[in-house]
Amino acid sequence: MVGTEEGIVISCNRKAKTPAEKIVCTFSGHHGPIYALQRNPFYPKNFLTVGDWTARIWSEESRESSIMWTKYHMAYLTDGAWSPVRPAVFFTTKMDGTLDIWDFVFKQCDPALSLKVCDEALFCLRVQDSGCFIACGSQLGTTTLLEVSHGLCTLQRNEKNIASSIFERETRREKILEAKHREMRLKEKGRTEGKDDELKEEEPAVDLEGLVRKAEEDFFDIIFSELKKKETAAMKKSKLKQRKLETDENVEEEEEAEEEGGAEETPA
């Protein structure tokens, strides 16, 4: 499993032979890069991721969302790890220099213990195999070694069964919610498709022949009107030519009459 900068967890198969088989599935839930990813040492199907302002616990059986998550913190989370001796305990570090120890059997909404380690940001943590010591690394390169109390590093009575039942209960709850969300999406899709069908039925049938006939009539009307305009203009031109010719003839006759009259008035 790998965490990406886009906040997606990718489950891969190293034994796959084809590129399509290498990526088994993906899990989306974080709003930023994933800085820590670790499987639960007692229940490998459940794994912890740390990114943005939350830490999330996932189940491989629920791919659409995480089954448990912490509240959104004011400071950015930088690292996280499971306790190697207690299945219900995990640790997270934050940018404000705080180490949080979570025990979801004891308390789920808030950390069981919150300790201010230093004034600068904590960027990494490692837990000893016995779960008794935690090493935290800060932004300035300072390593702080902390000893965990006996109650937080000792397996409690019936803790494995309680943690297993909590994981199973939350996984069932998420599966039910996923099924309801899918059902709601299908209903919404059906309603949208039904509305589209109703709109299509309400739309009147298009009369293609009528549209073609009307287009032809409009086309011929335009042609006839243009021809009439041209005929009218030609008639106007011919009338103007006739009037001009008549005017020229009248002028010539008047000139000839004046010339004859002038000749008669001339003395012999």
Average of pLDDT values for 215-240? 81
Taken in order 115, 53, 156, 153, is the CA torsion positive or negative? Answer: negative
Q: What is the pLDDT of residue 158?
A: 92
Mean pLDDT of 205-210: 66
User: Does the pLDDT at position 150 exceed 70?
Assistant: yes
133/135 Cα distance (integer angstroms): 7
Q: Is the pLDDT assigned to residue 236 strictly greater than 50? A: yes
Work out the pLDDT band at 266, boundaries 50, 70, 90: low
Give yes or no for residue 90 having a pLDDT over 70.
yes
What pLDDT was estimated at residue 198?
65
Question: Residue 221's pLDDT band (boundaries 50, 70, 90)?
Answer: confident
Position 241 pLDDT exceeds 90: no
Rg (CA), the chain: 46
Residue 196 is predicted with a pLDDT of 65
* Average pLDDT of the chain to the nearest whole number: 86
On the question of pLDDT at 204 being above 70, the answer is no
What is the structure's pLDDT at 22? 86
The predicted-structure confidence for 98-125, as pLDDT tens digits, reads as follows: 999 999 999 888 999 999 999 999 999 9
Compare 155 and 216 and report the one with higher pLDDT: 155
Which tens digit of pLDDT belongs to each residue from 18-45? Answer: 888 888 889 998 999 999 999 999 999 9
As beta bridge partners, residue 113 has: 101
Instruction: Report how far residue 36's alpha carbon sits from residue 212's, in angstroms, rounded to the nearest whole number.
Output: 69
pLDDT of residue 268: 44
Q: Is the pLDDT of residue 264 over 60?
A: no
Q: Is the pLDDT of residue 231 over 90?
A: no
User: In Å, how far are 23, 37, 59, 240 from 15, measured between CA atoms?
Assistant: 11, 21, 22, 100
